[in-house]
C-alpha cells in the first residue's frame, strides 16, 4: 500500500529542521514496524524533501537574506541577529551549518533517491519534479557557498569525503539534468492521484495535465534564472541558453511555485514566522530598516501597511545601528516586519518570473515586450500582498526610458521590493548579481543619503565597504571532509557575482 505523508507532520519537521535537523524523523528507520529506505517510494520521498527545502529557504535563510537585502534590521533592544547584521557569520554559526547540513542530508538526499526510484518505475512525472527541486536546492547552496559537493555527492559508503565542485560546473550540469527530465514522457497519468496529493507546490491544480504543465514552466523559469545568474561570468553562454529557450517557445511561470499549506498552529506555520515570532523569547527582534522604508516613503508606496502594519512614514531603525538607541530614541517606536503564520514560501514567485522575463527582453531582444512584462511584474508584486495599485503609484513606477542600465535598475528595484518576507534570500542574491539597489557612499543618517540605497552597517566586522557576498564553508563539513576548500571571507563574491 502506498504511503501518503500528512502535511502537518511534514510542516512540523520542516520547522524542527531550523534548529536541530530531523532528517531521520522523516526517514523510514530500521525497525520491525518500518521498512528500510530501499522500500521508500517517490510519493513518500518528494513531499519530505520539498518541506526540507521550504523550511530552510523560507526560514533562517530568508531571515539572513532579508537582513542583508536591508528590508529589516536588528532591534536595538534585543540581540538575536546582531552577528548577521554586522556580517559576522563564522564557520561555526548555526546559520552557516544548519542550512548546509539539512539541505544536503534532508532535501537533496531525498530528491536524489526519489530520482533513482522514479527511474526504476519509469515514473517520469516524479522524475521531473524531483529533478527540478534538486536543481533549485543545489542552486541555493551554490549561490551561498560557491562550491559544494556534486559529482561525488550521495555515494556513501563508497565516497565518504566527496570533492567540492565549482559553481559553474554544477550549474551547467543541473541544466542538463533538467533538460533530460523534460525530454521524458512526464505527462503519463501513472500514479497521478497520489502525486497530486503529495505535490505541495502544484498539486492543487485542477488536473494532472495542468500540474505537469506548471512543472514544465517551473523548469523553464528555473533555467532562465540560472542563465541570468551567469550573465557576468559567462555572458556568451548565458545569452545562448536564453535565446535557445525563447527559440523553443518556452513557457514560463504565470503563477507562483510555492508551498502554501501552512496553518496558524505551532510547528505547522510558515517557517519564518515559526522561527522568528513563535519560537523566540520576543517577537521584536526584526524591525523595519530605514533602507527599505525610506524608499517606500519616498514613493508613497502603500505596501508599507502590508509589510510593516503602518502607513508611511514607517518608524524604522538605520540598518545595523542597534547600538545607536541612545542617540536615536525614536528607535523604540520602530515597527516589526510582518510575517504571517499562513504566508507561503515562494521558490519562484509569479512577480519574479515576470521581472526576469522583462530583463531578458531588454538584454537580448531589443526591449520588445519588456515594458508590458515589467508592468505585469509590478501588478503581481502588489497582488501578492492583496493590494491593487492606484493610477498614481503605477505612474510613479512607470517603466523608464533611457539606457539599458536605467531600465535594469527599475526592474531589479521592483523585484527587490517584491521579495520581502519568506523570499528575502533572492533579494540578497540579485543585489550581488546586478548591483541594484545601489550601495550608498554614505550612511542613511547623512542628509545626502538617497532613499533605498544599501548602506554599510556601522558595526560591521569585515572592514569598511566589504559587504557580505556569500556564506563561509561550514565547520560541520570541514570537520569530516578534508576536501572542504580553504575558508574565504564572507565578502568574497561567488563565481557569478558582479
Our CA angle for 167, 218, 304, nearest 5°, is 90
Q: At 453, phi and psi to the nearest 5?
A: -80, 145
**Taking the CA atoms of the chain, what radius of gyration do you get in angstroms?**
22
Q: At 447, phi and psi to the nearest 5?
A: -60, -25
Nearest to 353 by CA among 415, 417, 278, 439: 415
CA atoms within 13 A on the CB side of 449: 21
Nearest to 221 by CA among 111, 104, 360: 360
Q: Which CATH class name applies to 40-286+469-497? A: mainly alpha
Q: Find how far residue 194's CA is from the centre of its chain.
A: 27
Residue in the structure block whose three cell numbers are 519616498: 298
Q: Looking at residue 192, what is its pLDDT?
A: 65
- Residues 16 and 22: beta-carbon distance below 8 Å: yes
Nearest to 253 by CA among 226, 231, 225: 225
The whole-angstrom separation of Cα 397 and Cα 411 is 10
Q: Find how far residue 62's CA is from the centre of its chain.
A: 7
Q: Looking at residue 36, what is its pLDDT?
A: 58
Contacts of 122 (CB under 8 A, 6+ apart): none
- Residues 487 and 473: beta-carbon distance below 8 Å: yes
Nearest to 444 by CA among 326, 333, 324: 324
- Residues 383 and 443: beta-carbon distance below 8 Å: no
* H/E run at residue 201: none
- Locate 354 and state its grid cell: 515576470
Exposed, middle or buried by CB within 10 Å (0-12, 13-18, 19+), for 30? exposed
Q: Looking at residue 288, what is its pLDDT?
A: 98
Print burial letters for 276-288: b (CB count within 10 Å at least 16), e (below 16).
Answer: bbbeeeeebbbbb
Altogether, the residues listed in the chain come to a count of 498
The structural domains of the chain, with segments of one domain joined by +, span: 40-286+469-497
3 state DSSP class of 405: helix
Q: Looking at residue 22, what is its pLDDT?
A: 42
Residue in the structure block whose three cell numbers are 565518504: 160
Q: Per-residue pLDDT for the chain (498 aa), expressed as one digit of tens each?
A: 233 344 444 444 444 444 444 443 333 334 445 545 667 888 889 999 999 999 999 999 999 999 999 999 999 998 899 999 999 999 999 999 999 999 999 999 999 999 999 999 999 999 999 999 999 999 999 999 999 999 999 998 999 999 999 999 999 999 999 999 999 999 887 666 767 788 999 998 889 999 999 999 999 999 999 999 999 999 999 999 999 999 999 999 999 999 999 999 988 899 999 988 888 767 789 999 999 999 999 999 999 999 999 999 999 999 999 999 999 999 999 999 999 999 999 999 999 999 999 999 999 999 999 999 999 999 999 999 999 999 999 999 999 999 999 999 999 999 999 999 989 999 999 999 999 999 999 999 999 999 999 999 999 999 999 999 999 999 999 999 999 999 999 999 999 999
DSSP state of 185: -
The whole-angstrom separation of Cα 367 and Cα 399 is 11
Q: Find how far residue 319's CA is from the centre of its chain.
A: 21
Q: Taken in order 101, 106, 111, 117, is the CA torsion positive or negative?
A: positive
Nearest to 126 by CA among 212, 213, 28, 27: 212
* H/E run at residue 140: helix 124-145
Residue 486: other Cβ atoms inside 10 A: 6
Q: Looking at residue 396, what is its pLDDT?
A: 98
Cα end-to-end span (Å), the chain:
52
Residue 413: other Cβ atoms inside 10 A: 19
Contacts of 188 (CB under 8 A, 6+ apart): 123, 124, 125
3 state DSSP class of 439: strand
CA atoms within 13 A on the CB side of 388: 1
The whole-angstrom separation of Cα 393 and Cα 388 is 10
Amino acid at each position: 500500500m502506498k504511503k501518503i505523508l500528512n502535511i502537518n507532520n511534514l510542516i512540523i519537521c520542516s520547522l524542527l529542521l531550523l534548529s536541530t535537523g530531523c532528517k531521520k524523523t522523516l526517514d523510514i528507520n530500521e525497525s520491525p514496524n518500518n521498512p528500510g529506505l530501499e522500500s521508500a517510494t517517490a510519493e513518500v520521498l518528494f513531499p519530505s524533501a520539498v518541506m526540507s527545502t521550504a523550511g530552510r529557504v523560507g526560514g533562517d535563510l530568508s531571515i539572513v537574506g532579508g537582513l542583508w537585502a536591508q528590508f529589516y534590521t536588528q532591534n536595538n533592544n534585543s540581540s538575536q541577529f546582531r552577528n548577521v547584521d554586522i556580517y559576522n557569520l563564522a564557520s561555526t554559526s548555526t546559520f552557516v551549518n544548519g542550512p548546509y547540513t539539512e539541505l544536503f542530508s534532508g532535501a537533496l538526499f531525498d530528491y536524489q533517491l526519489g530520482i533513482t526510484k522514479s527511474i526504476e518505475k519509469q515514473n517520469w512525472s516524479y522524475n521531473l519534479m524531483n529533478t527540478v527541486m534538486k536543481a533549485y536546492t543545489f542552486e541555493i547552496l551554490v549561490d551561498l557557498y560557491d562550491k559544494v559537493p556534486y559529482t561525488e555527492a550521495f555515494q556513501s559508503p563508497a565516497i565518504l569525503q566527496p570533492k567540492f565542485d565549482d559553481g559553474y560546473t554544477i550549474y551547467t550540469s543541473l541544466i542538463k539534468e533538467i533538460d533530460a527530465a523534460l525530454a521524458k514522457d512526464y505527462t503519463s497519468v501513472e500514479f497521478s492521484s497520489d502525486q497530486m496529493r503529495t505535490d505541495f507546490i502544484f498539486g492543487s491544480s485542477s488536473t494532472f495535465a495542468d500540474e505537469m504543465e506548471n512543472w514544465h514552466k517551473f523548469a523553464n523559469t528555473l533555467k532562465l534564472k540560472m542563465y541570468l545568474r551567469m550573465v557576468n561570468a559567462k555572458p556568451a553562454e548565458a545569452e545562448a541558453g536564453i535565446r535557445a529557450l525563447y527559440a523553443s517557445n518556452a513557457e514560463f511561470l504565470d503563477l507562483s511555485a510555492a508551498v502554501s499549506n501552512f496553518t496558524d498552529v505551532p510547528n505547522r506555520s510558515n517557517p519564518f514566522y515559526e522561527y522568528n515570532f513563535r519560537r523566540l523569547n520576543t517577537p521584536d527582534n526584526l524591525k523595519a530598516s530605514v533602507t527599505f522604508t525610506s524608499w517606500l516613503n519616498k514613493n508613497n508606496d502603500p505596501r508599507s501597511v502590508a509589510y510593516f502594519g503602518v502607513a508611511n512614514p514607517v518608524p524604522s531603525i538605520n540598518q545595523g545601528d542597534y547600538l545607536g538607541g541612545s542617540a536615536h530614541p525614536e528607535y523604540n517606536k520602530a515597527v516589526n516586519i510582518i510575517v504571517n503564520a499562513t504566508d507561503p514560501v515562494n521558490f519562484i514567485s509569479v512577480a519574479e518570473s515576470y521581472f526576469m522575463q522583462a530583463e531578458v527582453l531588454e538584454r537580448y531582444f531589443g526591449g520588445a515586450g519588456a515594458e508590458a512584462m515589467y508592468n505585469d511584474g509590478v501588478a503581481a508584486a502588489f497582488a501578492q500582498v492583496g493590494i491593487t495599485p492606484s493610477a498614481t503609484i503605477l505612474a510613479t513606477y512607470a517603466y523608464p526610458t533611457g539606457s539599458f542600465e536605467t531600465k535594469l535598475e527599475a526592474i531589479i528595484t521592483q523585484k527587490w521590493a517584491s521579495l520581502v518576507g519568506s523570499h528575502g534570500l533572492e533579494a540578497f542574491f540579485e543585489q550581488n548579481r546586478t548591483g541594484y539597489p545601489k550601495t550608498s557612499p554614505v550612511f542613511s543618517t547623512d542628509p545626502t543619503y538617497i532613499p533605498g540605497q544599501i548602506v554599510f552597517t556601522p558595526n560591521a566586522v569585515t572592514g569598511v565597504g566589504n559587504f557580505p557576498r556569500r556564506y563561509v564553508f561550514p565547520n560541520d563539513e570541514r570537520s569530516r571532509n578534508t576536501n572542504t576548500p580553504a575558508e574565504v571571507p564572507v565578502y568574497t563574491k561567488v563565481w557569478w557575482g558582479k
